[in-house]
A and B are shown apart, each in its own frame.
Chain A
Amino acid sequence: MSNHLKDITLKIWRQSGPNDGGHFETYKVDEISDEASFLEMLDYLNERLINEGNEAIVFDHDCREGICGTCSLMINGQAHGPERATATCQLHMRKFKSGDSITIEPWRAKAFPIVKDLMVDRSAFDRIIESGGFITSPTGGAPDANLIPIPKPVADAAMDSAECIGCGACVAACPNGAANLFTSAKIAHLNLLPQGQAERYKRVEAMVETMDEYFGSCTNHGECEAACPKEISIDVIALANADYRKAKVKNRKQLARN
């Protein structure tokens, strides 16, 4: 049996476009099932707004199963809301109580400009990936599994980093607006695997320096790790920091050979 939550007050950021100042607007949801997901609660509110002839609240979402990284939202001051290791689309209303007041804001960072209401443009992440988040060796058809033996702990560590869905919660949660967790997760994912070795140092230098153009600087608060829906550890940041230093030296030597 599902229970129902009553009298939810929502304070939601409304902003008509990138250049609008924006403001909080208060909405009431009289009753909602505790089985509803957070986004379904917003759908329900939007349906009502549309029926009343008002503009729906714009927010990002796609897969709604926690794998695409499209959903966002700062919920009561926490990226992806109060539940650990959970993207907003996987957050459910049973995490809240009747009579609760919930404040919803978009991610805020210079590199994530607000498109409308709660939707932000995260293409700065694409710039980082484009600069080095790939391998270029021809891989041909699908190779046999285990053709390249990889020690289990290495495969596990690479897999843990590869879990990153690029949602931007790390940047949103970081008091400095730094993207070190995202960038380092992408670096660690490829740099740990044999396939990523050829471009390892070129990759680190390019990705770290592209990150530098858009984002703030890490001071090791650890808020990113706490906000990450995939619980990616700040250990990857240390790995990228160590690799960046090696890369600067090695790339310099390589260039000197040319």
Chain B
Amino acid sequence: MAQVLHGRGPVTATANKSRKKRPFLLDLYSTAVGKKYAMAITGIGLMGFVLFHMIGNLKMYFGAADLDHYAEFLKKLLYPLAPKGAVLWILRGGLIAMAFIHIHAAVSLTRLNRTARPVRYQSERDYQVANFASRSMRWTGVTVFLFLVWHLLDLTFGVTNTVGADGEFIRANVYDNVVRSLDRWPVAAFYILANIALGIHLFHGAWSLFQSMGWNNPRFNKWRQAFATGFATVVVVGNVSFPIAVLAGVVGG
């Protein structure tokens, strides 16, 4: 067992705030384990989004009418029960909130981890099982985020994707916009790179979330990494097929 040494200052804690009374969820979120629950739950939500986003986009293989109709359908979710676009905006709000919480937890835990080892090892570490994916979560995450910003500017707001000299962008013409965007090879390359980063993030993240949530059982433990690998593969292969199909002329040719 560890020894107690006298005659020196006490070992100082990295957290110097005393625990004060807060609303339940905030109290939970104030601990590192609580932040990991938040990362896992928001991660699952974002995983759901990227999966359905990819599946929805497969419509581009059926042609312009299908994809544009699908975009229109998203706007009309639950219409006429709810006004046009209302449900879509609720979903978007949820996504923004989840992304915000996920990133907030990632940043604050990364800072906690830095303070937990202020003096790094001075000789080279010889890692045994930590892999490239687990060690690059912050980089792959940031890559995905930067891509997301670009992606919205490009295909939602049309800032970087205009038609002709008059700078027009017709948002409802989803199919044309996608084809025009991905036909530019640097855009296609960035698109592919960001999706590979997403795949690497999920290769670790979709496994890691089980541990964070405490979902551990000898009956399914061996399936957890297989699930993460499979999920990441499906999303990346689907997404990466789009720029390749556009460049090859299969879509929009």
The answer for the CA separation of A176 and B115 in the assembled complex, in Å, is: 9
- Binary B-proximity of A229-250 (CB < 8 A = 1, otherwise 0): 0000011011111111100100
A113 and B121 within 8 A (CB): no
B137 contacts A241, C-beta separation under 8 Å:
no
- Decide: B35 and A217 in contact? CB cutoff 8 A: yes
Counting CB contacts under 8 A, is A77 at the interface? Answer: yes
Determine which of B11, B33, B122, B208 lies in contact with A220 in the assembled complex, contact meaning CB atoms within 8 Å: B208
Within 108-164 of B, Cβ neighbours of A (below 8 Å) are at 109, 112-113, 115-130, 134-135, 137
A105 at the interface (CB under 8 A from B): yes
Q: Count A-B pairs with CB separation below 8 Å.
A: 186
Within 8 Å of chain B (Cβ to Cβ): is A252?
yes
Residue A18 at the chain B interface, CB threshold 8 Å = yes
Q: Is B82 an interface residue (CB 8 A)?
A: no
Chain A minimum-CB-distance residue to B137: A219
- The answer on a CB contact under 8 Å between B15 and A213 is yes
Taking residues whose C-beta sits less than 8 angstroms from the other chain, chain B's interface range is 35 or more
Point out the residues of chain A lying under 8 angstroms from B204, CB to CB.
220
Q: Does A197 contact B (CB under 8 A)?
A: no
A77 and B211 contacting across the interface, CB-CB below 8 Å: no
Query: Which residue of the partner chain B has the closest CB to A75?
Result: B126
> Is the pair B122, A111 in contact by a Cβ cutoff of 8 Å?
no
Binary contact readout A214-231 vs B (1 if CB under 8 angstroms, 0 otherwise)? 111111111101110000
Decide if B5 is an interface residue (CB 8 Å cutoff).
yes
Beyond the given pairs A18-B8, A123-B2, 20 more chain A to chain B contacts, judged by CB atoms under 8 angstroms and listed by A's residue number, are A13-B122, A77-B123, A77-B127, A113-B11, A122-B2, A123-B11, A125-B2, A173-B128, A212-B31, A213-B15, A214-B15, A216-B112, A216-B113, A218-B32, A219-B113, A235-B216, A235-B221, A240-B33, A241-B212, A244-B33
- Residues in B lying within 8 Å of A, measured CB to CB: 1-5, 8, 11-15, 19, 24, 27-28, 31-37, 109, 112-113, 115-130, 134-135, 137, 204, 207-208, 210-216, 221
